[in-house]
């Protein structure tokens, strides 16, 4: 029996890449040709996979093929490069099993994932970016920093731990601060509401596949996938006048959406999340001014976190409701506001919500990745469907226009984004633990706890690390925990009522009185420095 040669995974990949490089080097011409359905079937009579694909095409369909240097031909819609020599730097990224057509009842095949760039430098930059992204993975850091957990008992339903709740609540405190300043009021609406409400809003017909439903007293109910319909009911609870408008109403609502298990991704794609909704009810004349104010608010919030952004205007999708006239007015309102502000934007045709056009804010993080977060949606449909009214200056009843808008979007997702943006090293104002006191030895524990009490009394989130471990070990451990300040205390510090701070930015290098440090860190927190 002949000896077989076995190759490791890495050897197989290396061998495959070598062959790919050789093909690229030969600069083989790639040409397109067409066959009829019958001719295509005859060509692949022994290939069950190609035959299946071809048979699904309509009769009379002309089918395109691509030939590579007379050596390889394949069925493909295209397009392709003119020759293999046009392929620049590339790398095989992974190999994975995949069921034919995604059906587990079919055979398991191999799928090879690769990436290509025109130049080797671009490939290198991309690979470095991937490595940096791995280090910043919010799922990894979230577990290491004890922020949240993802458990088998609740797929897509994250568990926030005490330190994660500090981050969450601090974000909410900031949200409430800026929205109170901008004259928003806050409400809370129920999590479960009747089918009738969702039929009125249109969600039952346009969004039902993403909703969790239940029955109460033999009546259909749905767990809310968004806060909007409840906000409509709040508006209708009292008579409204033009003097009440614009009316800015915010809600931090817990919503649930049915996501496929394969789409779940840490905090980035979940099945339940808090949405920082706000609904602004206004007259048509107030549209542009309100949108300008919202854009200004978004800009302030994103700059606080060091997040730049670009803007997209999304227009009417195929699955939508309302008249052409309403959509034109709404789209022109958004476009006019963006033009008046002088904000650059691109038009994303057909990607609006089913009830109105929208402006989306795509954030750029520290390593250049893009995340869609904030959105401004102009809606003339829900006010009509819920028969919202206000009394105008003329004494007549009028229909308000409404803006849906979120700043964070999904708060869970925003936390995931900033974990990766800051690589877990939150700015001091946002950090779960802002300072840790580290006594040099057993003899300094009492003073360390005294400093801790001073910090706590000043509103600083602090801990004492007085474990029976070497000081160097404790310092390294707290560095890994991304704590902004480590306060080392020994004999000198105890005698002087001082601390020896070590900070991530290496700004503070000398021992200082405890009171002076407290004033320093309080100012940093108050100003929300990055």
Q: Which pLDDT band, with edges at 50, 70 and 90, does 6 fall under?
A: low
Which residue in the block uniquely carries the two structure tokens 């609006």? 352
Active site residue 228: yes
Query: What is the mean predicted confidence (pLDDT) over 356-368?
Result: 89
Catalytic residue among 136, 163, 275, 482: 275
- Its CATH class, for the domain covering 435-526, is alpha beta
- What local confidence, expressed as pLDDT, does residue 5 receive? 56
Active site residue 404: yes
Q: Which pLDDT band, with edges at 50, 70 and 90, does 1 fall under?
A: very low
- At 154-207, the pLDDT tens digits run 999 999 999 999 999 999 999 999 999 999 999 999 999 999 999 999 899 888
- At 55-96, the pLDDT tens digits run 888 888 889 999 998 888 988 888 888 998 888 888 988 888
Catalytic residue among 224, 228, 272, 465: 228
CATH of domain 140-421: 3.30.930.10
Report for 83-97, 133-147, 342-356: range of highest mean pLDDT: 133-147
Partnered with residue 65 across adjacent β-strands are 33, 75
- What local confidence, expressed as pLDDT, does residue 478 receive? 95
Instruction: Select from 286, 291, 307 the least CA-distant residue to 341.
Output: 291
Mean pLDDT, the chain, as a whole number? 92
Helix (H) or strand (E) holding 42: helix 37-43
Active site residue 385: no
Active site residue 257: yes
- Domain ranges in the chain are 9-127, 140-421, 435-526
- Measuring CA to CA, how many Å separate 343 from each of 183, 330, 357, 365, 376? 24, 18, 17, 20, 14
- From the CA atom positions of the chain, what is the Rg in Å? 30
Query: What is the mean predicted confidence (pLDDT) over 49-58?
Result: 89
Q: Which pLDDT band, with edges at 50, 70 and 90, does 4 fall under?
A: low
Which residue in the block uniquely carries the two structure tokens 């602090």? 462
- Note whether 250 and 405 are within 8 A (CB): no
Active site residue 76: no
- What local confidence, expressed as pLDDT, does residue 206 receive? 84
Q: What burial letters (b/e) apply to 385-400, b meaning 16+ CB within 10 Å?
A: bbebbbeeeeeeebeb
Q: In whole angstroms, give the CA distance from residue 92 to residue 346.
A: 33
Query: What is the mean predicted confidence (pLDDT) over 290-297?
Result: 93
Is there a cis peptide before residue 246, judged by omega within 30 degrees of 0? yes
Query: What is the mean predicted confidence (pLDDT) over 283-306?
Result: 93
The larger pLDDT score, comparing residue 97 to residue 393, is at 393
Active site residue 208: no
Catalytic residue among 279, 316, 461, 482: 279
- Its CATH class, for the domain covering 9-127, is alpha beta
Catalytic residue among 138, 248, 358, 405: 358
Helix (H) or strand (E) holding 430: none
Catalytic residue among 138, 404, 444, 481: 404
Report for 229-233, 316-320, 346-350: range of highest mean pLDDT: 229-233
Handedness of CA 373, 377, 381, 385 (dihedral sign): positive
3-class DSSP state of 41: helix
Q: In whole angstroms, give the CA distance from residue 2 to residue 407.
A: 67
9-127 with 140-421: one CATH topology? no
Q: Residue 147, Cβ neighbours under 10 Å: how many? A: 26
Q: In whole angstroms, give the CA distance from residue 33 to residue 74.
A: 10
- Note whether 504 and 457 are within 8 A (CB): no
- At 470-518, the pLDDT tens digits run 999 999 999 999 999 999 999 999 999 999 999 998 899 899 999 999 9
Q: In whole angstroms, give the CA distance from residue 136 to residue 529.
A: 21
Instruction: Select from 449, 454, 453, 448 the least CA-distant residue to 519.
Output: 454
Catalytic residue among 276, 277, 365, 466: 277
Q: Copy the structure tokens of residue 419.
A: 């974990």
């Amino acid at each position: 029996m002949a000896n077989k040669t076995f190759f490791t995974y890495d050897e197989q990949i290396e061998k495959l890449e070598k062959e790919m490089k050789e093909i690229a080097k030969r600069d083989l011409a790639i040409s397109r040709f067409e066959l009829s359905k019958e001719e295509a079937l005859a060509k692949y009579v022994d290939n069950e996979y190609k035959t299946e694909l071809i048979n699904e095409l309509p009769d009379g369909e002309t089918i395109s093929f691509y030939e590579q240097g007379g050596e390889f031909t394949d069925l493909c819609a295209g397009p392709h490069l003119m020759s293999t020599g046009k392929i620049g730097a590339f790398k095989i990224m992974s190999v994975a099993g995949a069921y034919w057509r995604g059906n587990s009842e079919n055979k398991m095949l191999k799928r090879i994932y690769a990436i290509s760039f025109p130049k080797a430098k671009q490939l290198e930059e991309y690979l470095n970016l991937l490595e940096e992204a791995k280090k910043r993975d919010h799922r990894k850091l979230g577990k290491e920093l004890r922020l949240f957990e993802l458990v088998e008992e609740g797929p897509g339903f994250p568990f926030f731990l005490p330190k994660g709740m500090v981050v969450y609540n601090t974000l909410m405190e900031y949200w409430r601060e800026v929205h109170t300043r901008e004259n928003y009021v806050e409400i809370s609406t129920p999590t479960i509401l009747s089918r009738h409400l969702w039929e009125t809003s249109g969600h039952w017909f346009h969004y039902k596949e993403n909703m969790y439903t239940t029955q109460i007293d033999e009546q259909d109910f749905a767990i809310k996938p968004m806060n909007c319909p409840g906000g409509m009911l709040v508006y209708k609870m009292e008579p409204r006048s033009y003097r009440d408008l614009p009316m800015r109403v915010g809600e931090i609502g817990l919503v649930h959406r049915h996501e496929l298990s394969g789409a779940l991704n840490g905090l980035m794609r979940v099945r339940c999340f808090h949405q920082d909704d706000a609904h602004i009810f206004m007259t048509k004349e107030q549209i542009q001014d309100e949108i300008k104010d919202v854009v200004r608010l978004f800009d302030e919030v994103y700059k606080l976190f060091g997040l730049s952004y670009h803007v997209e205007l999304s227009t009417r999708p195929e699955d939508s409701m309302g008249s052409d006239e309403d959509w034109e007015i709404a789209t022109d309102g958004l476009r006019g506001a963006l033009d008046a502000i002088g904000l650059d934007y691109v038009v994303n045709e057909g990607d609006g919500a089913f009830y109105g056009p929208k402006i989306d804010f795509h954030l750029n993080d520290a390593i250049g990745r893009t995340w869609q977060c904030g959105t401004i949606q102009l809606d003339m449909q829900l006010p009509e469907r819920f028969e919202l009214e206000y009394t105008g200056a003329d004494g007549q009843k009028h229909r308000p226009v409404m803006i849906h808008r979120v700043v964070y979007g999904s708060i869970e997702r925003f936390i995931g984004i900033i974990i990766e943006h800051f690589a877990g090293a939150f700015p001091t104002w946002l950090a779960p633990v802002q300072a840790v006191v580290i006594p040099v030895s057993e003899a300094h524990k009492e003073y360390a706890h005294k400093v801790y009490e001073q910090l706590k009394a000043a509103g600083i989130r602090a801990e004492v690390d007085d474990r029976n471990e070497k000081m160097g070990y404790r310092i390294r451990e707290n560095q890994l925990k991304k704590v902004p300040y480590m306060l080392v205390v020994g004999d000198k510090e105890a005698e002087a009522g001082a601390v020896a701070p070590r900070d991530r930015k290496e700004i503070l290098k000398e021992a200082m009185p405890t009171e002076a440090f407290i004033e320093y860190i309080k100012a940093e927190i108050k100003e929300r420095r990055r």
